[in-house]
Amino acid sequence: MVKVLVHRRDDRGMSLEPFASRCVRAGEVHELVTTSHDDTEPGARIDHVGFLGFAEIDRAGVIDRGDEVWIGGELVGTVLGFDGCHFPNHYNILIHTALPVTGEGIGLKPEREVCFRGRW
């Protein structure tokens, strides 16, 4: 984590990209956003969100829908998909959780390791 966020929204209006995966490069920074939405249809509106923070990618790879998201050794949720409203600056990586949570709310700190674990 390079920046922990503290806010949540019930009217964010993010839109789920039609891609089930995204390639990421070492050094890129992407925003991690939690949501209780579970609709994976392209264009699905995502309103209820909690912002975890920004994470720097250490190694290039592919993040897939359904990957587990671990931060500091704790399971946070699973990748629902991606919102590209800020791209090419960064993607919002949408993480499905029972309820939207914030970085502050779950005690995140800068420098915590973020890990995406695939199903295979």
94's tokens: 């949408």
112's tokens: 């915590």
3-class state of residue 117 by DSSP: strand
Q: Report whether 65 contacts 80 (CB < 8 A).
A: yes
pTM exceeding the 0.85 threshold for the entire prediction = yes
pLDDT of residue 15: 95
Residue among 33, 47, 56 at smallest CA distance from 102: 33
Q: How far is CA 40 from CA 18, 66, 96, in A?
A: 9, 11, 11
Mean of the per-residue pLDDT values for the chain? 95
Bridge partners for 15 per DSSP? 45
Name the percent of the chain in helix, strand, coil, to the closest 5. Answer: 0, 45, 55
pLDDT in tens, 51-96: 999 999 999 999 999 999 999 999 999 999 999 999 998 999 999 9
120 vs 21: CA distance, rounded Å: 14
pLDDT of residue 59: 96
9's tokens: 């929204």
